[in-house]
Homo-oligomer: A and B are copies of this chain.
């Protein structure tokens, strides 16, 4: 027994004014006498009036919503939910709503327009879209065709043969720099034989490897990489790296990993081999995902400021929406977080 929603006309009628006046009090317009305003307000309260959002958005030409479109990834992964949080916090201040949508698509075949999420396909559904998660250029291109403002999370773009649209805006964090400073840190601690563990078939991990490689090369130190591919589970990848390390680089005193999960795998494997961390070997992670400092020993890692990535994406999107942004958004800095998993190498 659902009763019809009240409209501005219902309120106007009861208050003995016009719908225009009701609309004016709804929109805080100053040109309403306080007497009528109070009366209208009281009637709205009593009758439980709720303005129709679709009608408002229609006449205003906008919905005040942006879309957080998470591609090919799980929100339950804290890396992405923290980005979402950053977006939401920023949008709250801008009085914008965030629509959350996940979308999985096959790599690099330009999706048919009708396969794109309805909310971005339709006009005035959202003011703009944030392309989060892992994306491919072909998809970005088809978003581009929609002529809707968008900002991309740049680090997880898998660049294929297709280039990104010229005017694409991407927020990136300094992936290479983070790996470089982690390497620096280990070297300053006295390490010389530092092993990188990761899957170089992934662009993002390769970028981390490059940060490591560059610093090692500069210092004239040996570059060593356990490149383990086709292992979707990073924890497993870490465990699998250990025998490789023992066999090929037995003198390793420190391990720099592609990410925290891999580091967890390494830690677990090391523990089984009764190799102590950090006494016998130092380990550094990457990402600073939650719970990683609950490990014992707590993991030294590279912090990626995920919420800042989110808020920067949102901020930049609003700029794009306002129109006329030329510049790319700033690159987000990373920093090393020193906890318990690293120490000076044992004297030989």
Which residues of chain A have a CB within 8 Å of any CB of chain B?
2, 5, 45, 48, 50-58, 63, 65, 68, 74-78, 81-82, 84-85, 88, 92, 95, 97-102, 113, 118-119, 121-125, 145-147, 235, 261, 264-265, 267-268, 271-272, 289-292, 294-296, 306-307, 323
Contacts and interface: CB of A to CB of B under 8 A. Distances in A.
Contact of A84 (B52, B100, B147, B265): B100
A160 to B, nearest CB: 25
Contacts of A78: 76, 78, 81, 290
B54 A100 contact: no
A173 to B, nearest CB: 17
Contact of A85 (B48, B54, B65, B74): B74
A68 B100 contact: yes
A294 B85 contact: no
Given A235-B294, A261-B291, A264-B291, 4 more contacts: A5-B123, A51-B122, A76-B307, A99-B100
Contact of A101 (B52, B97, B307): B97
Contact of A54 (B63, B68, B291): B63
Nearest to A268: B296
Nearest to A83: B76
Contacts of A56: 122
A58 to B, nearest CB: 4
A60 to B, nearest CB: 9
Nearest to A65: B99
A268 B296 CA distance: 6
Contacts of A119: 53, 97
Contacts of A272: 296
Most buried by B among A53, A58, A145, A292: A53
A221 B325 CA distance: 69
A230 to B, nearest CB: 21
22 contacts: A5-B124, A48-B146, A48-B147, A50-B122, A50-B123, A53-B63, A53-B123, A53-B125, A58-B58, A75-B75, A76-B82, A76-B290, A76-B306, A78-B78, A88-B100, A88-B101, A95-B118, A98-B99, A98-B101, A261-B291, A267-B296, A271-B296
A99 B100 CA distance: 6
Nearest to A74: B85
Contacts of A145: 48
A54 B52 contact: no
A327 to B, nearest CB: 19
Contacts of A52: 58, 122-124
Contacts of A121: 50
Contact of A290 (B125, B291, B323): B291
Contacts of A55: 54, 58
A294 B323 contact: no
A236 to B, nearest CB: 11
A324 to B, nearest CB: 10
B53 A124 contact: yes
B88 A54 contact: no
A118 to B, nearest CB: 8
Contacts of A295: 264, 294-295
Most buried by B among A57, A77, A82, A145: A57
A170 B275 CA distance: 49
